[in-house]
Structure 1
Amino acid sequence: MTIEKNIILERETKKPILIDAFYSENLTNQTIVIFCHGYKGFKDWGAWNIMAEMFAQLGCCFIKFNFSHNGGTMENPIDFPDLEAFGNNNYSKELEDLDAVITWSQNRFASNKTININNISVIGHSRGGGIAILKSSIDTRIAQLITLASVSNFENRFGTEEAIKTWKEEGVKYVVNGRTKQQMPHYYQFFEDFKANENSLNIEAAIKQIEIPILILHGDKDSSVNISEAKALHQWQPNSQLTIVENADHVFNTKHPWDKKDLTNELKLVVEMILKFITEKSVH
């Protein structure tokens, strides 16, 4: 297996993106699988590296990346040294990032005859699930969509009208990171960008117009994103496949840091279900 870590995707007028690629030199017709992390997430969180290795061993070219404004830097991609970038993040920037990673993936592996650059699956976890849904509704390069513990609505995460009014007056609001204990800023531009692009950031409208195969996976013990959100996604797009993972929390019973060599039974099951789904639905 080939593992390329911390590839820097430079962009002329935008922040760079840090990318990992896991793939085999021996297997053929490898599907490209692109993984989008969630809120306060990063590509090296918890068991994501072990998950990536499992995908690669079983025939996929697995790509994961840090959103450009997730708060990590090129030098320190795991914690959040760049809180200014974090505060200036928004959904539009994350959609642009995913677009750049898809383009990079196709260009990077264009001459690799073992990787099928025309068979791209996108996986989104939590907030990344919402981003994956929006992108899949407008990008014909994506052949399969998989959501893990995905959100179904961005607007209802901004809080009450009163909270938004205070946010506007103060220009910034802070969220505590339970792991690092940092006060992580959100500048009011986040809400302004959402309102300016409200129609194109509507997850319900997006999933209703998706025609590619969709797999929705959600743990029944998820306390961060309620299981009702997975059911809503499935209701809006009845052609999707909804699977509830028993006894699984928001991160499928993993944590950060993850010092074990194996995945939890729940996350291993998730990988197996995704691989089965991709294999069945793949275009050849």
Structure 2
Amino acid sequence: MARSLCKSGFTVLRFDFRGSGDSDGEFEDTTLPGEVSDGEAALTFLIRQRSVDRRRVGIIGLSMGGRVATILASKDERVKFAILYSAALDPLRDKFLRQMDKDKLEKLNLGEAVEVSNGWYLEKKGFFDMIDYVIPFEVMGRIKIPMLIIHGDRDFVIPLEEAEKGYSIIKSLNDKNELYVVEGGDHTFSKKEHTLKVIDKTLNWLKRVV
């Protein structure tokens, strides 16, 4: 996606949250507030670049990144548009609790790292305690900037219903808001045909909005 945006003339900053990819830190020490802070720092860095028009800066997030993007869009006036891919918008604490057995819960209470959702997340108690410190559904109603929500109808990690609920909240807040469902798309749009659909929709929407 970043390469496609650059080829279309957009300036793009792609970064890893702390403890992930090439960023410093340990993944198991990650917290949602920390990821939001990382996003704020990335925005600050981006708007300081001479080639960037701060009046047209937006944010794109996938999965938990979509959760972070929603939180930033609700409170950071520097964000002028937001795009959510397979975003985790629902409260997660109860969802994770249902997926963890007794042994994992005991480890979590002792501050040890635990695995939840088939390897999708590995975190310590600090993250678990703060994972719902902001619930996207509760702040989406205050987001007035344009938003595009893209979700696959074969996403078994974050169900399509979450995207539909999120869109129902923002639908009337901006006439550019849109929900795009990728038929057959999984959580990461892993098939090439689905990836291309996401790229095409994103670029066409941005050309209308930015």
Q: From 209, 222, 225, give the equivalent of 2:158.
A: 225
Q: From 189, 203, 206, give the equivalent of 1:278.
A: 206
Structure 2 Cα separation of the partners of residues 192 and 209 of structure 1: 25
Matched, 1:88 2:88: no
CA drift at 1:167: 4.6
CA drift at 1:175: 1.7
Q: From 9, 15, 28, give the equivalent of 1:59.
A: 9
Matched, 1:267 2:200: no
SS of 1:61 mapped into structure 2:
coil
The structure-2 alpha-carbon separation of the partners of 1:87 and 1:117, relative to structure 1 and needing over 3 Å to count, comes to: same
CA drift at 1:155: 3.2
Name stretches of at least 5 consecutive residues in structure 1 with no aligned partner. Answer: 1-50, 255-263
C-alpha RMSD of the superposition: 2.6
- TM (normalized to structure 2)? 0.85
- 268-277 vs 225-234, greater mean Cα deviation: 268-277
Matched, 1:152 2:89: yes
Name stretches of at least 5 consecutive residues in structure 2 with no aligned partner. Answer: none
Contact 1:144 1:278 in 2 (8 A): no
CA drift at 1:73: 4.4
Larger Rg: 1
Deviation readout 1:187-234 (Å, 9 max, x if unpaired): 211133346xx3xx1111111110001111001111211111111111
SS of 2:82 mapped into structure 1:
strand
Q: For residue 174 of structure 1, what is the amino acid of its counterpart?
A: V
Contact 1:220 1:248 in 2 (8 A): yes
1:164-203 pair list within 5 angstroms: 166-175=106-115, 185-194=122-131, 198=133, 201-203=134-136
CA drift at 1:253: 2.0
Number of matched residues? Answer: 202
Higher helix share: 2
SS of 1:62 mapped into structure 2:
coil
- TM (normalized to structure 1)? 0.64
Q: For residue 169 of structure 1, what is the amino acid of its counterpart?
A: N
Higher strand share: 1
* Other-structure match for 2:42: 101
Q: For residue 267 of structure 1, what is the amino acid of its counterpart?
A: T
Structure 1 Cα separation of the partners of residues 105 and 157 of structure 2: 25
1:17-56 pair list within 5 angstroms: 51-56=1-6
SS of 2:204 mapped into structure 1:
helix
Between the two proteins, what is the percent identity of the paired residues?
A: 22
